[in-house]
Structure 1
């Protein structure tokens, strides 16, 4: 009998089923709860027996406990019961010997749902290995290769796993890295030295791993190797969802649009369990097959919804469920996915389900129960499930000047920064946090001053950019300079982009040490229409983008503001801002702004303050937007509009 590599305390606290598993041929899917975390990720692969199938219309195989970690089903290794296996529509569970049988489909990816307490193998780049592609004649001729002919139905496809305490624990940290979207190796380097590097320095996500949430590269699928290399330093398994920029655009239809992705990363949609949470990854992009336009719809589709219904039949109603899609189901501006109501119907019986998306290069946390006029117009009167939009590793497509670390500012159009979303689970509790690239967790507040003078400058700067920068560029100003006339006019606000902010968060501002003022949330989700315009913009990030090359959205789901008192004296004033998120976590930042007598004084003071604003004209990267595919993408054009 093969000997398991027992780790320290591996025999401590074993369940009855787990203890039996060490000697009996049956291993329960939940039996590994007390096994110790492997010293390293388990490197291996799915085993394919290329012999002749007993029935070419049925795929058979076994999910097994790979005791000696050689990715082969050896004589004394045991099957694992109650593991879900799917062909992309049908979902079956393994029997008492770990075996399964599924109908064969001409073009299918067969995958398993990793149970809690078990870990599937990873390849040499730490990407999880849990699927097999079946495409007998291979892909149509595709630039990036697609899937090579797999031939007829194999005799068996066997899926190895090993026991893991890391995935069994009810306490999980799950990292979500959306829209790495590098268009060349330079931008891949920015990702490596920015948000991805932050993940490499963390070790708190070993069980759950990292989920790439699509648009992992920018159309050029030859960069997939670079992407894999960048994420190979992760301290946990890596899984990838597809985005619209990860497709084979020379595919004749949607059926083969993800062939290269499936070959290099795995299924376009799948599920896995960690702790008490069921993760579902869906493909929310439906490709038109038109290579000249590269058009697509944000849509789940009937086949995936059928699979999702089948997948969830194995999930307890009160479990945590995470539905991860590249295109979010909604954002604060609109319903994005065409068949959003159908998706919500499928998950209606799962009260703890939350949807996670990327795609829009915004960072949003929209709480179940919120209402928006634009959602209602699309048939969703009340948001049934919390929707988180995960920000972007690339921020605003690596745009703007370079910061002190040599990385593009890449401020997003909703007043956020490049970063990583983390979902945190502890039994019945779930929380989330967004960590800005190269910053600590408590960096959550971006502060600015939104005045009539600033809004006038912003419009002129936007007009200049819209005119392809013809004529003289409006001279940059510091938004932290306010004239007496600005204050007398009113509508001069101290603003806070609160990255952790939700509709039930709280932002307080204290001017010059006086009593706190509770700030107004500009988009509270109480049935109002979209708040859009310069008066709803974050001046700090918007100023940076208007001075260089970033997108400006004039709207945000996480902006708070308080009107600045009109009777302030001339000189510099200090405001302390404290944001308290829905979990009671506090973040505090301070901003100073200067009140001056007139326009001449404002111009002179601006020149002194501009470098302190974090903008140095000598650092500006001269970006030709016509040459930047990121800034020319559908998402960027929608942002500009």
Structure 2
């Protein structure tokens, strides 16, 4: 808990929680109490200052560390890749006498998908510039390296990247090897039907200083958690910000985790000097992961997609190429229909913030929906630096106009960003800047708590407990005038003078108490108790086929008052804002309202806000 003492001009904040309370204090609003009804699946949340629990074992000591076994010598048939998936009982990454092959494991060359025979053997067509990988089965674990990065693939590019890339690309691999063998070990943690899967969006570090911001923020939080040991963490693109030399530093961050780390490429992970699209992610592939792949945990089948289509010398678009589409069809054809499908991608299939911009969504979204018809599924995206929890049946005009999608067939979540709004904004004093996202959400990580095929999502704000889920503010005519006057002075605006004061003119001109409920969605409710009466607040974006609502009246005043003064994006639109209109006859003096936000899963979060009526 951190105390705040503010000037009379900015109001008085009695107490608060870390960076989130600092924002409330800066807005001149008093948060009197905050409670949450939710804890992690094992009661293990991300708690500041608390030593990590090792109830699930000490990952640093027990993790299966190893590598893919690439046999020396050339293949007998240069057009066929062969190998074995085996039980590496002694953890030395080599199939020794007595270590059996594992039947029925999926292996792919990035196009075809086969399953291993009774001896764990597989054969796949080989071609230039392919990545071969194994799909980790439930109950088994692929090895990780010393930085916890999962090791499950082999790049085949005999001559290496054909041009001299600034960040190296792929080194020459030589002729097709005699065999590529994939070691696995049995792992109870990946087999249980209850899994917690961390999803990290947009670490996006441009400098070594920003690497330290990420270290002190989300990665320190993850180092204190042990609930994701089985599923691990999937970082869904923009791992760095154009400077691919920072991949090494990012690997060091992954070394802080208590579980395996997997990565997807984003549009800031490109080799921009590649002369062809075919080699635009070569450095990413060399240092982190395949462009796309899959793995199983519990009853979930996670499909990690590359949705960034880059045309060298031009720009990028949200799309899958034909090779990846063919692989996706084959992967799903070899996946039982009773499994939950979790689609992870950088550019989301569809999103709210850019719903009218085709390049920030995926061209083949309707085709992917058709592939998944009848399956339990959830789609995850990053890219937009916002938090969006969109449910089946939600609809926006842009989706229909661009892709012919009238409504969502299953849940789509935009996971927010570890970097927030590109590490912008005021210094919090905690080792990182505020970096409020473009929708008013805070930086942090998403976790999917999965039980069989049921999914419960939670967003953990960097440096906070799981019960910190909303920001309360006041949207008055005086605020809206200040907003309009400072739009052309963003980042250099004078602070809004009296954010916790409401005048009689403000009440006559419509004043709302706003609740930005970051993981709020269709099916959520927000109730405001004021002076003994409880009223349900109104969501500003119904998600019923309308256009995105933009402007001061749809903004989050707490976020905007930080952003216009200290820089960053502008929270002038969000799909998770609720408004309660203050009555015109409120008496002069101090008032306290209690806000209870209930999510689609029935979890309640409560906070109080105090403000003054000045007549």
| TM-score normalised over the length of structure 1 | 0.84
Change in Cα spacing, 1:544 to 1:246, as seen in structure 2 (3 Å) is same
Aligned match of 2:397 in 363, 373, 384?
A: 373
> Tell me, what secondary structure is at the counterpart of 1:535?
helix
> After superposition, what is the alpha-carbon deviation per residue over 1:327-371, rounded to whole angstroms, capped at 9, x for unaligned?
111112416212221221222232x11110000000010001112
Q: Distance in 2 between matches of 1:96 and 1:431?
A: 37
Which one of 97, 102, 114 corresponds to residue 136 of structure 2? 114
Aligned residues: 552
Equivalent residue runs for 1:8-407 within 5 Å: 40-139=62-161, 140-290=163-313, 295-333=315-353, 334=355, 336-350=361-375, 352-378=376-402, 379-407=404-432
Residue 474 of structure 1 deviates from its aligned partner by: 4.3
Contact 1:301 1:339 in 2 (8 A): no
2:595 matches 1:577: yes
Q: CA deviation at 1:138?
A: 0.4
Deviation sequence 1:477-507 (CA, Å, 0-9, x none): 24222111010122x1000000121110010
Runs of 5+ in structure 1 lacking a partner? 1-34, 598-641
Q: Which residue does the alignment assign to 1:438?
A: 463
Decide whether the 8 Å contact of 1:413 with 1:542 is kept in 2: no
Given the superposition, is the C-alpha separation of residues 572 and 122 from structure 1 closer, same or farther in structure 2, using an over 3 Å criterion? same
**Distance apart, 1:553 and its partner CA:** 4.0
Name the CA shift for 1:343/1:92 in 2 (closer, same or farther; >3 Å): same
Contact 1:37 1:166 (C-alpha < 8 Å) held by counterparts: no
8 Å contact from structure 1 (residues 434, 500) kept in 2: yes
Where does residue 475 of structure 2 map in the other structure?
450
Counterpart pick for 1:538 among 549, 552, 556: 556
1:305–1:346 Cα contact (<8 Å) kept: no
Q: Does the 8 Å CA contact 1:210/1:236 hold for their aligned counterparts?
A: yes
The RMSD of aligned alpha carbons is: 1.5
CA contact (8 A) 2:104 2:118 kept: yes
Q: Any idea what the Cα deviations from partners look like across 1:131-163, whole Å, max 9, x if unmatched?
A: 000001100211111111111111000000100
Aligned pairs (5 A) from 1:603-618: none
How far does residue 248 in structure 1 lie from its aligned partner after superposition?
Answer: 0.7
Gap change, CA 1:405 and 1:36, over 3 Å in 2: closer
Residue 535 of structure 1 deviates from its aligned partner by 0.4
Report which stretch shifted further, 101-110 or 328-337.
328-337
- Which range moved further: 172-181 or 38-47? 38-47
Q: How far has the Cα of 1:532 moved from its partner?
A: 1.2
| Pair member with larger Rg | 1
1:543-587 Cα distance to aligned partner (Å, 9 max, x none) = 100111110141101101110111112222111100011111110
**CA deviation digits over 1:576-608, x for unaligned, max 9?**
1000111111100111112223xxxxxxxxxxx
TM superposition shift of 1:519: 0.6
* Contact persistence 2:556–2:571 (CA under 8 A): no
Deviation at 1:58, TM superposition (A): 0.2
How far apart in 1 are the matches of 2:420 and 2:246?
19
Residues 495 and 158 (structure 1 numbering): CA distance in 2 closer, same or farther, change over 3 Å? Answer: same
Tell me how far apart the structure 1 counterparts of residues 108 and 498 of structure 2 sit (CA, whole Å): 57
Q: CA deviation at 1:396?
A: 0.5
SS in structure 2 of the partner of residue 51 of structure 1: coil
Per the TM alignment, residue 195 of structure 1 is displaced from its structure 2 partner at its CA by 1.1
SS in 2 for 1:151: coil
Mean CA deviation greater in 56-65 or 514-523: 514-523
Shift of 1:475: 5.0
C-alpha separation in 1, matches of 2:152 and 2:593: 53
Instruction: Render the CA deviation track for 1:300-322: whole Å, top value 9, x for unaligned.
Output: 22221111110011212131110
Contact 1:37-1:165 within 8 A present in 2 as well: no
Give the TM-score, by structure 2 length: 0.88
Question: Which residue of structure 1 lines up, in the alignment, with residue 433 of structure 2?
Answer: 408
Superposed CA offset, 1:36-58 (max 9, x none)? 99861100000011212111000
Q: Which residue of 1 aligns with 2:533?
A: 515
Counterparts of 1:406 and 1:266 in 2: how far apart (Å)?
A: 29
Are the counterparts in 2 of residues 214 and 242 from structure 1 also a CA contact under 8 Å? yes
